[in-house]
Structure 1
Amino acid sequence: MAPQGKLQLCAALLSAVGLVVGQNTTWDHSLYTTSPPVYPSPNATGLAWESAFAQARNFVAQLTLEEKAQLVTGTAGPCVGNIAPIPRLGFLGLCLQDGPLAIRQADYASVFPAGLTAAASWDKGLIYQRGLDIGAEFKGKGAHIALGPVAGPLGRSGYGGRNWEGFSPDPYLTGVAFEMTIQAMQRSGVQATAKHYIGNEQETQRNPSLSPNNVTIEALSSNIDDRTMHEVYLWPFQNAVRVGVASMMCSYNRINGSYGCQNSKALNGLLKDELGFQGYVMSDWEAVHSGVASIEAGLDMNMPGGIAFTVPTPSFWGANITLAVNNGSLNVDRLDDMCRRIMTPYFHLHQNVNYPPIDGSEGDLNFFPLSSYVYNFTKGPSNIDVRDNHAGLIRELGAAGTVLLKNKNNILPLKAPKNIGVFGNDAGDLTNGLYSLAGGFASGDYEYGTLAVAGGSGTGRLTYVVPPLEAIKARARQDGSLVQYILNNTLLTSGSGFSSIFPTPPEVCLVFLKTWATEGYDRTTLLADWNSTAVVNAVAAYCNNTIVVTHSGGLNTLPFANHPNVTAILAAHLPGQETGNSIVDILYGAVNPSGKLPYTIALQESDYAFADITNSTALLETENPDAWQSDFTEQLLIDYRHFDYHNQTVAYEFGFGLSYTTFGLSNLTVRNVYAAGNISATPPRAAVVPGGNPTLWDVLYRATATITNTGRVAGAAVPQLYLSLPQLPGETAVTPPKVLRGFEKVSLQPGQSAMVSFDFVRRDLSSWDTRKQMWTIAPGRIGVMAGFSSRDIRGQTSFAPLS
């Protein structure tokens, strides 16, 4: 691409992402240009992992200085990240593999639904089972460490290229999905990696770049105030620490002026001190910009080990660690703590005993670090098939994560239509290979083929895919139905008459749209790709029963939502390899849709908080190394919190999703269940454990409600519990009108009722007090709202916890 073309493309990306998202009169940029120093890095104590910690301590005591340096520095090898073996101690090394939904580059492995789809299911059981199955596949291929799941990006901006890897812009929903996935993966025996810590909310300028005059322009700085950090972005990572996540991956971006992988406040202060994290912090690949400085700031493992990706290069660590210890610039005690942190999860998950060897079909994926750090890894048999019966879970979760947004006159489920039209380039099979569409960092410019998964390091290598068209054909054969189709979007929008192609008009027209997203790039529009609006309008002009299905790497605005001939809309997200079967199960009613939106769909792009754009051209042409600043001026008001605070009308609200039946909610009550009696505004002081002050997790109140299936068919309801918290005295950041604090999925037969309960721990009722530097329950009454979306509230009450 010509330089001018690159400039125009980057300008479009910047115009989409938006670096300053709003004007807040309380925001003072100068307060967030530096990150406070927090030293020294706290030593792990092995809390909750005592036996494994003792094994790790004994192992590290036997290491030479050179072996310690080797244990914390990545090397070349068969996996995307590698820690070299130490044969004399029987240690075979560590294999690190991408990613959050599949063991990315392996064969005979499954491609699961994306985190976005899992969140849209709002189904804790399926989310947990997904984690179990993913973990089992990583272990079966000999990977010790899975590079997932994802809670960063959280999804501050709908344009974020990696939002789909995570779960939801709501920190509570993400926190639940995050911790359940981690627990399940580690129960399977593989170490989970919580990533990307923290503030990694866009791809544009996530790494340093060179200006037109070859000046190094530093990576974007995410400038986040203390309260927003705790209540929004740190929230799910606190869940991860509490359930014992093995590893945290620090992010590429800067945080308040300091790089994420050498930010002592984020790593030493928040993570290891305040949250009591006992595992190790690994870098994202090529996110290390210093030696001793990053080590002292709390980084424990350097990946991939060398400074650059593509050629053997020096390392900031490696042999330089040995030099630093010998010349006194690095205390060996800090190095020992790094090694103990790395080895403790290894022993805790019994990876030293009969762990499967690395699949022999794995090529050398990691070519980059020092040639002197190349070691022979033990490989096992090749082409191990780890898929087991996981296709069933993938199909079920793909359907459960599909959200029915519109269903005019109950047109769905389909009732054996005899003449079906299928339209759109997302409906058919892949034409450029099973990995080329989503593999690597491809641009996504593959016109034909269904979008089962998006791109970048979070993708998966499809062993097979079930396209929607093939699944529809298979189902239609049961009914003797005719299936006709046009998959060429250009033809569909060219004005060619449908009557010349179809002998008779279809009874139902199914339009499949897709929206590409990938690591390394941010989206430039929230519309679906490939002239999607024109495609829908063209089909709807011909067919008065048009059903639209979107497969998307993020949220989409839907300008055709009110078209009278668009009778149904389904947001099917990224369902994985069984995508066609999952959508057919929904379309024909084999599965009653129960998915709910894990984000808000606005009426138009400009309605979102991140739509205020400034200085994109100036940033592209800057010679100022520190020019890229992203002030999180919206603070706590992201997604539905923003729309609620500004009382804005939306197309489809957070938590929304239709069913083929109806539900009622009644008898909402709240009671105090705190065994210790009176509740104080601040948590009683206690020794920090993984997850922070343990009293933050005390259950203080419990809400209950009755859910009833008031319709004619069986279905699953998702009752949601929201709290309206009082404003802390003296705090300037706006407290959102409501925040999610509970949800359950309950299956009910027609006429059946069930009681659901929601426990509120102290953190749920608290706000982060920036003056006291602790979680505090604000004085006043807390409003309780229960319903079936953030705006479909069926029951309300309140209580005063401090009275």
Structure 2
Amino acid sequence: MLFLALWSGLLALTAQGVAQDYGTSPPVYPSPPTAGIGWDAAFAQAEAFVSNLTLEEKAQMVTGTTGPCVGNIGGIPRVGFEGICMQDGPLAIRQATYASVFSAGLTAAASWDRGLIFTRGLYMAAEFKGKGSHVALGPVVGPLGRSGYGGRGWEGFSPDPYLTGVAAEQTIWGMQQAGVQTSLKHYIGNEQETQRNPDLSISNTTIEAVSSNIDDRTMHELYLWPFANGVRAGTASIMCSYNRLNGSYGCQNSKTLNGLLKTELGFQGYVVSDWQATHAGVDAINAGLDMDMPGPVGGSQNASFFGGNVTQAVNNGTLNQDRVDDMVRRIMTPYFHLKQNEYPPIDGYEPTLNSRYPPYQYPFTLGASNVDVRDNHAQSIRELGAAGTVLLKNTNNTLPLKAPRTIGVFGNDAGDVVDGLYFSGAPFQQPQGYEYGTLPVAGGSGTGRLSYLVTPLDAIKARAARDGSLVRYILNNTLTTQPGALRTIAPVPEVCFVFLKSWASEGSDRVSLEANWNSTAVVNAVAATCKNTIVITHSAGLNVMPWANNPNVTAILAAHLPGQESGNSIVDVLYGVVNPSGKLPYTIALNESDYRFADITNSTELQQTEDPNAWQSNFTEALLIDYRHFDYYNQSVLYEFGFGLSYTTFDMSTLDIEPAVPSLEISPLPDAVPIVPGGNPTLWQVLYTVNITVTNTGDVAGASVPQVYLALPQIANSVPTPKNVLRGFDKITLQPGQSQTVNFPLTRRDLSYWDVNMQEWVIASGTVGVNVGFSSRDIRLTDQFVVVQEG
């Protein structure tokens, strides 16, 4: 967000030199009012609603209160308003009973399947609505995934902004079609958990939250990119983040809220704070914050940055009432648009789970308790869990299995959980999490309360019973690594499964990228005895795999976080009921040290600092994260971004690039076009279409994910442009021998870079390379074209 108007002398920049020049976030005032673009009828209803409120009621509408939900806006019976209920989170109604626990965002991204991601959003929202929750606090696109060590990367989708943007818009379309508001989060630069909030524990000095210092081009092309997709998709709200951004807190940063979000992206909904992320009243409001959550500060219902302070500020002239009216209009327009004035009551059991201060200050309408909202969603969860499983290695077609006589199962991730079906409590603060039990989902506010869990061991036993297979197992990792331990397994199994897991949770970052609980020793011990060892990982993020090239490790599957149907999903893949089609939404490097290009800011010196502003995270890698980094520096990796095997084979042919508009019409981006949600509408204009033919060359049906990468021209005096950026993908299912033509539209935004001088998206002069393949490094077809520009 540093703009060149303020920093005209900065532009001899490299990826390593840019971030040190960031110290401020330019002010942008006033906060632009919503016009309800795209929500015209609802906007008129919201205007009428606001006109009937007193000043005190308006203040109530923008201030969280105690109540039955994680976040609550109190009802106003006088005008027939029953309040707003907000619930976590991105994969389930976190604390609810009789609700489903869906696959994590990471798993959804690994499916690369727009339809399944949309359905996931649709079904999740049906459950939120059935429980009386107006707002689902998700999806997550921040953290984007700058670092593999980030504790909440699994809640989002992928470190690639294009893939994340597609997943976000599909989720939003699905959820809001079901009548539930989405709250796209966490805006913006929230890429680590360490020091995400101020710290008061050192010498009574407030050590401010970490400041994510990001250059202007990187902000637009990387971290803001998926938020633009979400705004264009019509997200009702945006949740601002805990961290500082170029020195200014995310929930009172006028540049990011008023400038980027509400002006440049044309966002028409409301900005809600993350819980306790508000640090001011009038200053935050004028900077663009519309709703303060949870409202009370420090455990007191009567202490709030908003609330009575809003009323007082309007009365003494320090806050314009027009701004307060705009806040309420922004809140109520999506409420009316989604017809939430006629809505199911809040589940009557929720207060026992979520309330901290009963009785409530405002009345809430409660319905029946323990409403079962799961419907038939389990089958969809099972399907997505399998679709998001990535087959990384399959030596000599080890998989799919064909009724082996003997099976060994090893690893503490295979069996049932022993500490309960809700991942909460002390393990949040432990880097390895729970020792025993499979990991269907990770921890923090992004988790879910399981109503049941199908474990891998249970599903394998069920399948083995059908096949007449003998199953033996050791689930104690410590015991498995002891000399002679595997002699108790007799006879030596024909196939051995090793289930590994990697815990992560809100509030802390990962300390290792290897799977937890002495995983490497477990794999090596099993593989030393069993010459057909298949390793499955359930991980809240990427894993390095130092055992991957062990010749006795014949197959590897990254199963991510599949949700409640975990065991069924993986057995479907192992036995070929489902042909694996997942692709990596990140890169698996050769060594953990290869990821040091974007470290979590967390040194011993910082942990002991008394400097209030010491926590500075300079994003010196700029645009070069994940595969962009490895490609730019020609660095070898174990498994590249977009990689994933199948039980069949595919090929592609006949690359054709067609201009969608005459070249003479591709003029510089017009600046007189009215901004709509998503930004300048010209950015979304399709300029070219890439056409290819994909053929299933194997002997079984399967799904393929052809991917389009663009090699955009380098820009002088700027941070480095990645060698390749994802700009298209599709998932298609083909029968043996079947071919299908696939079309990939390329928009103006796809072909542009952010020019910090012009403060605009610009198509660079020069050649655009088109690379089409089955992963970022498995490129099958190439071509190029030059975009002709006037002027």
How would you bin the TM-score normalised by the shorter chain?
over 0.9
User: Cα–Cα, structure 1 residues 795 and 583, in superposed 2: closer, same or farther, change >3 Å?
Assistant: same
Query: Secondary structure at 1:422's aligned position in 2?
Result: strand
The match for 1:632 among 606, 619, 624 is 619
The match for 1:254 among 237, 244, 250 is 244
What is the rounded CA distance, in whole Å, between the counterparts of 2:429 and 2:441 in structure 1?
12
Q: Offset of 1:677 from its aligned partner? A: 5.0
Q: Offset of 1:508 from its aligned partner? A: 0.2
Deviations 1:553-591 (A, max 9, x none): 000000000001000000000000000000000000000
The match for 1:67 among 16, 37, 57 is 57
Q: How does 1:535-546 map to 2 (within 5 A)?
A: 535-546=522-533
Who is 1:505 aligned against? 492
Who is 2:595 aligned against? 608
Q: Offset of 1:140 from its aligned partner? A: 0.6
Q: Offset of 1:685 from its aligned partner? A: 3.2
Q: How does 1:300-699 map to 2 (within 5 A)?
A: 300-308=290-298, 310-312=299-301, 314-353=303-342, 355-363=343-351, 365=353, 367=355, 374-436=361-423, 441=428, 443=430, 445-499=433-487, 501-610=488-597, 616-674=603-661, 678-683=665-670, 685-699=672-686
Is it true that 1:742 corresponds to 2:728 in the alignment? yes
What is the rounded CA distance, in whole Å, between the counterparts of 1:685 and 1:727 in structure 2?
28
Q: Offset of 1:621 from its aligned partner? A: 1.0
Q: Offset of 1:364 from its aligned partner? A: 5.0
Q: Offset of 1:33 from its aligned partner? A: 1.1
User: Cα–Cα, structure 1 residues 367 and 497, in superposed 2: closer, same or farther, change >3 Å?
Assistant: closer
Who is 2:160 aligned against? 170
Is it true that 1:793 corresponds to 2:779 in the alignment? yes
What is the rounded CA distance, in whole Å, between the counterparts of 1:495 and 1:701 in structure 2?
62
What is the rounded CA distance, in whole Å, between the counterparts of 1:610 and 1:189 in structure 2?
42
Is it true that 1:298 corresponds to 2:284 in the alignment? no
Quick check: 1:683–1:696 contact (8 Å CA) kept in 2? no
What is the rounded CA distance, in whole Å, between the counterparts of 2:107 and 2:645 in structure 1?
16
What is the rounded CA distance, in whole Å, between the counterparts of 2:696 and 2:236 in structure 1?
41
Quick check: 1:438–1:453 contact (8 Å CA) kept in 2? no
Quick check: 1:668–1:705 contact (8 Å CA) kept in 2? yes
Of stretches 147-156 and 212-221 in structure 1, the one that deviates more from structure 2 is 212-221
User: Cα–Cα, structure 1 residues 149 and 558, in superposed 2: closer, same or farther, change >3 Å?
Assistant: same
Which amino acid letter does the alignment assign opposite residue 758 of structure 2? Answer: K
User: Cα–Cα, structure 1 residues 510 and 372, in superposed 2: closer, same or farther, change >3 Å?
Assistant: closer
What is the rounded CA distance, in whole Å, between the counterparts of 1:260 and 1:121 in structure 2?
31
Q: How does 1:152-231 map to 2 (within 5 A)?
A: 152-231=142-221
What is the rounded CA distance, in whole Å, between the counterparts of 1:621 and 1:175 in structure 2?
38
Who is 1:267 aligned against? 257
Is it true that 1:149 corresponds to 2:139 in the alignment? yes
Who is 2:752 aligned against? 766
What is the rounded CA distance, in whole Å, between the counterparts of 1:48 and 1:650 in structure 2?
45
Who is 1:35 aligned against? 25
Q: Offset of 1:613 from its aligned partner? A: 7.9
Query: Secondary structure at 1:175's aligned position in 2?
Result: helix
What is the rounded CA distance, in whole Å, between the counterparts of 2:35 and 2:601 in structure 1?
47
Which amino acid letter does the alignment assign opposite residue 184 of structure 1? Answer: G
Uncovered stretches (5+) of structure 2, i.e. residues with no partner: 1-12
Quick check: 1:516–1:529 contact (8 Å CA) kept in 2? yes
Task: Let me know the Cα RMSD of the aligned residues.
Answer: 1.6
Query: Secondary structure at 1:592's aligned position in 2?
Result: coil
Q: Offset of 1:441 from its aligned partner? A: 4.0
Quick check: 2:423–2:447 contact (8 Å CA) kept in 1? no
Provide the aligned length of Structure 1 versus Structure 2.
776
What is the rounded CA distance, in whole Å, between the counterparts of 1:285 and 1:203 in structure 2?
14
Quick check: 1:423–1:486 contact (8 Å CA) kept in 2? yes
Which amino acid letter does the alignment assign opposite residue 602 of structure 1? Answer: A
What is the rounded CA distance, in whole Å, between the counterparts of 1:692 and 1:283 in structure 2?
23
Deviations 1:440-498 (A, max 9, x none): 94646321100000000000000000000000000001111100000000100121342
Q: Offset of 1:413 from its aligned partner? A: 0.3
Deviations 1:537-566 (A, max 9, x none): 000001000000000000000000000100
Q: Offset of 1:362 from its aligned partner? A: 0.9
Deviations 1:112-139 (A, max 9, x none): 0000000000000100000100111000
Uncovered stretches (5+) of structure 1, i.e. residues with no partner: 1-22
Query: Secondary structure at 2:537's aligned position in 1?
Result: strand
Quick check: 2:194–2:602 contact (8 Å CA) kept in 1? no
Which amino acid letter does the alignment assign opposite residue 755 of structure 2? Answer: D
Quick check: 2:68–2:351 contact (8 Å CA) kept in 1? yes
Of stretches 676-685 and 247-256 in structure 1, the one that deviates more from structure 2 is 676-685
Q: Offset of 1:614 from its aligned partner? A: 7.9
TM-score scaled to structure 1, two decimals? 0.95
Which amino acid letter does the alignment assign opposite residue 473 of structure 2? Answer: Y
Deviations 1:630-659 (A, max 9, x none): 000000000000000000000000000000
Quick check: 2:202–2:608 contact (8 Å CA) kept in 1? yes
Who is 1:11 aligned against? none
Query: Secondary structure at 1:700's aligned position in 2?
Result: strand
